[in-house]
């Protein structure tokens, strides 16, 4: 079956107990004098798929490892439902963890990899051999690898190996599923196929899931909500639409959506952008500010229109079904980009006029 094929339409599959809420209360983690997490509060709703997004060093993976029990917090606690998971061992937390680099056992077959977590359980909680075989077959069918149980991991593609890793994480009947850059080692097309498949699988199994990624498109496509982290704190948490359309802070506005920050000055009802000015939104605070501009925020306009700015085209390139042009609004400002339809003829060095469709202003 193709990597991107949806799971079968029937609802058979491993039984999943009621999803639980994950709560972080005043969570802190320091490594020496460096604070990886700083008094972080977070609630992940039962059955929710929450993406953790942020730059390198923002605390994403540290938070995931604290939830798993692989690290011990220096402050605060983590609750699974009403239970203080901070007091539980890794095994007792019953967390399924999927890493970027699969971490499959090369000397074991696909089916044996999936069965591993069940076979190493203490004797009193270990399922019978027949039950383990049944559960492994069920899980391999769920991840669309039912015919490949006898193969070695080396005989699988990268996308197939990552699905084996996910089946192994599900085999132990986790209360929580944690995914740390699970598609980071895969090429772009396989990533796109697998994230659609993962979203469909999540809707079937209903696990409370935390998903770490550096890929914004991945986070926005997969997640119910996205938490934007910066320097160990949450800058904003919301739906993909909320973090894209209504950034709560200047950091989020600059981080999400290919934005370029422009230093501007607000005076009265005007926003001065370099040597030019446009009308300021009502109630905008006067003084220095940052204006964040995305390619979709700009459109070509008639020079005689209101609130238009002259710009010089620095370069033009093709991006799939459209073209991107790099523009210089003013000599002292960083360049911005605009997306143009293929039929729009522009050339390097040409002077055009553009209108801003959105004004994302953040006082300094």
8 Å CB contact between 323 and 344: yes
3-state SS string for the chain: CCCCCCCCCCCCCCCCCCCCCEEEEEEEEEECCEEEEEEEEEEECCCCEEEEECCCCCCHHHHHHHHHCCCCCCEEEEEECCEEHHHCCHHHHCEEEECCCCCCCCCCCHHHHHHHHHHCCCHHHCCCHHHHHHHHHHHHHHCCCHHHCCCCHHHCCHHHHHHHHHHHHHHCCCCEEEEECCCCCCCHHHHHHHHHHHHHHHHHHCCEEEEEECCHHHHHHHCCEEEEEECCEEEEEECHHHHHHCCCCHHHHHHCCCCEEEEEEEECCEEEECCEEEECCCCCCCEEEEEEECHHHEEECCCCCCCEEEEEEEEEEEECCEEEEEEECCCCCCCEEEEEECCCCCCCCCEEEEEECCCEEEEC
Domains 22-245 and 258-363 share a fold: no
Q: Which sequence spans correspond to the domains of the chain? A: 22-245, 258-363
C-alpha span between 207 and 296 (Å, rounded): 35
Read off the pLDDT of residues 18-69 as tens digits, 9 standing for 90 and up. 789 999 999 999 999 999 999 999 999 999 999 999 999 999 999 999 999 9
Average pLDDT, the chain: 89
* Average pLDDT value for residue range 326-340: 92
Please name the residues in contact with 258: beta carbons below 8 A apart, sequence gap of 6 or more.
Answer: 294, 295, 337
Read off the pLDDT of residues 258-299 as tens digits, 9 standing for 90 and up. 999 999 999 988 999 998 999 998 888 899 999 999 999 999
- Burial of 188 from C-beta contacts in 10 A (0-12 / 13-18 / 19+): exposed
Q: Does domain 22-245 have CATH number 3.40.190.10?
A: no
Res 330 pLDDT > 60: yes
C-alpha span between 352 and 310 (Å, rounded): 6
Name the percent of the chain lying above pLDDT 70. Answer: 95
Please name the residues in contact with 209: beta carbons below 8 A apart, sequence gap of 6 or more.
Answer: 48, 49, 50, 176, 177, 178, 179, 202
Q: What is the pTM of this model?
A: 0.85
Q: Which of 4-18, 31-45, 84-98 has the lowest mean pLDDT?
A: 4-18
C-alpha span between 311 and 314 (Å, rounded): 9
Res 137 pLDDT > 90: yes
Which pLDDT value is given to residue 16?
53
258-363: CATH number: 2.40.50.140
| pLDDT band, very low/low/confident/very high, at 332 (cuts 50, 70, 90) | confident
Read off the pLDDT of residues 142-169 as tens digits, 9 standing for 90 and up. 888 999 999 999 999 888 988 899 899 9
Residue of 319, 2, 1 lying closest to 192 (CA atoms): 2
- First-to-last alpha carbon distance for the chain, in angstroms, is 53
Residue 307 tokens read as 């609130």
């Amino acid at each position: 079956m193709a990597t991107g094929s949806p799971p079968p339409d029937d609802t058979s599959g491993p039984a999943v107990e009621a999803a639980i809420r994950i709560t972080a209360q005043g969570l802190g983690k320091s490594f020496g004098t460096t604070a990886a997490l700083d008094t972080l509060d977070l609630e992940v709703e039962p059955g929710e798929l929450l993406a953790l997004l942020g730059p390198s060093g923002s605390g994403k993976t540290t938070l995931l490892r604290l939830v798993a029990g692989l690290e011990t917090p220096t402050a605060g606690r983590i609750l699974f439902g009403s239970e203080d998971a901070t007091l539980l061992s890794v095994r007792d937390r019953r967390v399924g963890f999927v890493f970027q680099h699969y971490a499959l056992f090369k000397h074991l077959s696909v089916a044996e990899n999936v069965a591993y977590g069940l076979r190493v359980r203490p004797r009193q909680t270990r399922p019978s051999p027949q039950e383990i075989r049944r559960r492994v077959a069920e899980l391999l069918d769920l991840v669309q690898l039912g015919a490949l149980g006898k193969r070695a991991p080396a005989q699988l593609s990268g996308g197939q190996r990552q699905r084996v890793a996910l089946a192994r994480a599900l085999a132990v009947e986790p209360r929580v599923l944690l995914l740390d850059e699970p598609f980071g080692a895969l090429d772009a097309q396989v990533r796109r196929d697998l994230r659609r498949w993962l979203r469909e699988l999540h809707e079937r199994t209903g696990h409370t899931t935390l998903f770490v990624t550096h890929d914004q498109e991945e986070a926005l496509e997969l997640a119910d909500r996205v938490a934007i982290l910066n320097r160990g704190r949450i800058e904003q948490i919301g739906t993909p639409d909320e973090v894209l359309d209504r950034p709560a802070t200047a950091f989020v506005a600059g981080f999400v959506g290919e934005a370029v920050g422009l230093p501007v000055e607000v005076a009265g009802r005007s926003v001065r952008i370099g040597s030019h000015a446009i009308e300021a939104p009502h109630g905008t605070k006067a003084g220095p500010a940052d204006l964040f501009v995305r390619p979709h925020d700009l459109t070509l306009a008639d020079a005689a229109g209101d609130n238009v700015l002259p710009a010089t085209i620095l370069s033009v390139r093709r991006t799939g079904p459209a073209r991107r042009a790099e523009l210089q609004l003013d000599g002292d400002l960083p360049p911005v980009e605009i997306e143009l339809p293929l039929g729009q003829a522009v050339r390097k060095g040409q002077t055009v006029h553009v209108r801003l469709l959105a004004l994302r202003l953040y006082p300094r």
